Amino acid sequence: MSTPRLVERHPELGSEELVAALAPPPRFDGVRLDNYVPNPEEPSQAEAVARCREFVSEIGRGTSRGGSWLRALFGRGNRKTAGEDGFRPGLYLDGGFGVGKTHLLASMWHAVEGPKAYATFVELTNLVGVLGFGEAVRRLSEHRLLAIDEFELDDPGDTMLVTQLLSKLTEAGVRVAATSNTLPDKLGEGRFAAVDFLREIHAMAERFTVVRIDGPDYRHRDFPEPPEPLGEDELVELAHRTPGSTLDDFGELCAHLQRVHPSKYGRMVDEVTAVHLSGVHAAPNQSVALRLVALVDRLYDRAVPVRISGSSLSALFTEEMLAGGYRKKYLRALSRLTALSRELARS
């Protein structure tokens, strides 16, 4: 009996499934503000926890100053623009990868009594594409909190879409919490003509109070280096011996990722116990590299371990890629992939 392959999976998600899935991934089911352990050498981490508690308390007290979804959609409210009186409806957790930003974001989501929504940035933009802008505003305006993980702007269309969406939602009283490796007024920098969209970027940035979280990547604190790639025969044997696992040729998987929308990658790896990738090599281009980042994020969310053959993980992204505007995304992916590769002991 052959081992299942990810390239054989073609997940489809309807609008109702997308809405129902607006919750933190399984890895973060048990996270809470109380079990976030700040690094004593990094005071900003304890400060971030305190700011998150304050944000949650504000939501609990109903200090969102909002209106109805109709007001948000048609712009007929009399509320001040965010920032005019110092009020910020959003909390933005900024910092390097591996400092626990997603832990804090999911913890806030758990702490707030619903209705509430949680999505990665790519899942949010896809939701708007499926529902339509007006329907997305209507549904999300019913929530007290929208948590957005991996907030980023990779193209001008996303800049305009998210600026308008956050404007409508915050006018409707929705509080927004987000994580990113980039300050909100620097989003899109080095990736497209951000100077042409500074007005929109700055308008969005004004809606957030920024909390900086410093520190080293906890995933690599006092841990050994990732295991070396396996031999081809050993990889195949381990894939066959691991119930619920998949085995794919890396090049074929890269091609498959270009045919599947990144918002469906989570469904593609649901119920997979381990991923085995044969013949790993450098991503052929930036488009594939970014889709690999999205796949690694969904594997990490679901704690799906990874075994590979071929080149080492450090060769996945070229030096040119690591020197470009997506450097932080690639480094985060390598950090998470390294952690996942440790989760299966070599046998």
Nearest to 316 by CA among 278, 273, 276, 281: 281
Report how far residue 29's alpha carbon sits from residue 291's, in angstroms, rounded to the nearest whole number. 25
Burial level of 147, CB count in 10 A (0-12/13-18/19+)?
buried
pLDDT for 101-123, tens place per residue? 999 999 999 999 989 999 988 88
pLDDT for 172-205, tens place per residue? 999 999 888 665 555 545 444 444 545 565 667 7
Q: Cα 240 from chain centroid?
A: 31
| Contact of 204 with 184, CB cutoff 8 Å | yes
Provide the whole-model pTM. Answer: 0.76
Q: What is the pLDDT of residue 201?
A: 57
Nearest to 58 by CA among 165, 209, 179, 213: 209
Question: What percentage of the chain reaches a pLDDT higher than 70?
Answer: 80
Q: Cα 149 from chain centroid?
A: 4
Mean pLDDT within 304-321? 94
CATH number of 31-216: 3.40.50.300
Nearest to 27 by CA among 262, 269, 244: 269
pLDDT for 21-53, tens place per residue? 899 988 899 999 999 999 999 999 999 999 999
Report how far residue 31's alpha carbon sits from residue 162's, in angstroms, rounded to the nearest whole number. 27
Q: Do domains 31-216 and 220-342 have the same CATH topology?
A: yes
3 state SS of 140:
helix
| Contact of 121 with 238, CB cutoff 8 Å | no
Report how far residue 266's alpha carbon sits from residue 322's, in angstroms, rounded to the nearest whole number. 25
Q: State the number of CA atoms in the 13 A half-sphere of 281 facing the CB.
A: 9
Sorted by where each begins, the domain ranges of the chain are 31-216, 220-342
The class that CATH gives domain 220-342 is alpha beta
Question: What percentage of the chain reaches a pLDDT higher than 90?
Answer: 51
pLDDT for 75-89, tens place per residue? 444 344 444 445 689
Residue 263 has pLDDT above 80, yes or no: yes
pLDDT for 56-74, tens place per residue? 999 998 754 444 444 444 4
Report how far residue 138's alpha carbon sits from residue 153's, in angstroms, rounded to the nearest whole number. 23
DSSP label at 62? T
The band of 158, judged by pLDDT with boundaries at 50, 70 and 90, is confident
